[in-house]
Structures are given as C-alpha cells and as structure tokens.
Amino acid sequence: MAPKYVNEKAQAAKDRKSSAKEAEKAAKEKAAEDRMWKEAGEGAKSKAQAKRDEEAKQRAVSSRMDVHETAAKKAEAKRLAEEEEAALSRAKPKPGKVSGPKVTHHQLTLTREQEEAERAEQAKQRQLASKREVDEASYGRLVDTANANRQDDTVAASGVDEAIQALSTLSTGEAPGSVDKHPEKRARAAWQAYEAANLPLLKMEKPGLKQSQYRDMLWKSWQKSPDNPLVAAGKK
C-alpha cells in the first residue's frame, strides 16, 4: 500500500507555527513565574539564575533557527524528488524487459517521515505517561529524601512539614527550632514541596481543570498555609 502523501510545505509551516507557539508559551510562563516570585519577596535574580535565563533564551532562538533550517531542507528534498520523478517519467523502458514497480526517492522520503512522525508520537505519549507518574510520586520522593537525609546527616523528618524543615536545615545549616532569619530564601523549595504534595489531591477533588487553574488555586491556599515560610515568619 502506497504511503499517504503529505503536503510538506503545509507540514513545514505547521511545524514552524507549533514551535513558535511553544517557545512563546514557555517564555510567557517563565516570565509570569519570575514576576510571581519577585512579588512574593524572593528579590532580584542571582547571577547564576540570570545566566541560566540567558542560556534558555539562546536555546529558544537556536530552536527556531533549527525549525527554519529543517523546513528549507525538506523543501530542497522535495524539489530534488520531483526532478527525479520527472526524469524517470521521461525515460523509456527497455523492450522485452519487465521490471517490477519502482520506489522513488520521494516515496522513500515520505515513508521515513511517516515513521519518524509515528516514533515522535509514541515518545510524546511515553513522556505524558511519565509526567503523570511523576506528579503522583513527587510527594513520596520528597518524604523519602527527607528520611535518607535523616540517616546521613542525623536529621529526623516525617510528613510534609518536617521534610521541608529538614531539607531547609541541610541547605542553610540552621538547627530545627532556631529563628528563621531568611524565610524568603527557602520559599521556592517549600512551595515546590507544597505543590507536589497537594496537586494530585486537588486533581482528584476537582478533575477536568487546566494545569494553570490548579496552580492558581494552590497558590491562593499557599498564601495562608503554615507551610509557607513567609507566613510562619509573620511576613504575610
């Protein structure tokens, strides 16, 4: 059965639009998150964070360039395939020799592209499945990490509150129960732990919402949560 014909120009344009939308979406989400943390009291970015942001921008630009380059290569491959097909159609078969159906370079190219698309879709499905498993297992890993730190650094931790305090103690060198002089420095880590623990529960309670809606709901509850270091320090 002959492979289904794909309009490569339309597909290339579609790929460019999709990549551009994804890059734009990622940039907007990152800008929103940075603005959120700045308003929450995290302060100016560190040099390392600024460097990471610059590298991310450069990767986004490089990705867009790769999309354009890929589209140009596909267009050139299509042109060569059309020229080859035209040359084959002009060639006369030799008398007395029966040959089987020929597979053109263009057909081979289409077949390879179809196989690549199928592999990409399978990889995407595996990634989505893995992401769902990560969401459900994030809280368990957090508690396991805290318990491992208890064995290595003699820090006892159990549950979300003690896990966050244990991780904070290991990173800041402060003993549990001491006055937290810089709660804003561990606000992001505490928020990530809070989100990992509560997001799966919220999805079960309110199924069918968008990821951004779940995060907004969690962020509002975080502003009043005792798990928030800024709330515990009396800054909220």
Give the domain-ending residue among 116, 141, 166. 141
User: How far is Cα 25 from Cα 171, in angstroms, rounded to an integer?
Assistant: 33
pLDDT by residue (tens digit) across 147-204? 454 444 334 334 445 545 554 554 444 444 555 556 677 788 889 999 999 999 999 9
* pLDDT given for residue 236 in this prediction: 42
- If one counts the domains in the chain, the total is 2
Task: State the SS3 of the chain.
Answer: CCCCCCCHHHHHHHHHHHHHHHHHHHHHHHHHHHHHHHHHCCCCCCHHHHHHHHHHHHHHHHHHHHHHHHHHHHHHHHHHHHHHHHHHHHCCCCCCCCCCCCCCHHHHHHHHHHHHHHHHHHHHHHHHHHHHHHHHHHHHHHHHHHHHHHHHHCCCCCHHHHHHHHHHHHHHCCCCCCCCCCHHHHHHHHHHHHHHHHHHHHHHHCCCCCHHHHHHHHHHHHCCCCCCHHHHCCCC
Question: Is position 229 within any domain?
Answer: yes
Give the domain-ending residue among 120, 141, 162. 141
pLDDT by residue (tens digit) across 56-113? 888 887 777 777 788 888 889 999 999 888 888 877 655 555 555 667 888 888 888 9
Question: Is position 192 within any domain?
Answer: yes
* pLDDT given for residue 98 in this prediction: 53
Question: Is position 36 within any domain?
Answer: no
Question: Is position 163 within any domain?
Answer: no
Q: Quote the tokens at residue 181.
A: 């002089």
* pLDDT given for residue 143 in this prediction: 39
Question: Is position 199 within any domain?
Answer: yes
Question: Is position 49 within any domain?
Answer: no
* pLDDT given for residue 160 in this prediction: 46
The contacts of residue 96 (CB under 8 Å, 6+ apart) are none
Give the domain-ending residue among 92, 123, 141. 141
* pLDDT given for residue 63 in this prediction: 75
pLDDT by residue (tens digit) across 12-61? 888 888 888 888 888 988 888 888 887 766 555 566 777 888 888 888 87
Give the mean pLDDT of 118-130: 83
Question: Is position 223 within any domain?
Answer: yes
* pLDDT given for residue 196 in this prediction: 93
Question: Is position 7 within any domain?
Answer: no
How many angstroms separate the Cα of 180 from the Cα of each of 54, 73, 137, 199?
32, 58, 29, 27
pTM (2 d.p.): 0.27
Tell me which residue range forms the domain holding 231.
182-235
* pLDDT given for residue 11 in this prediction: 80
- Location of structure tokens 């942001």: 53
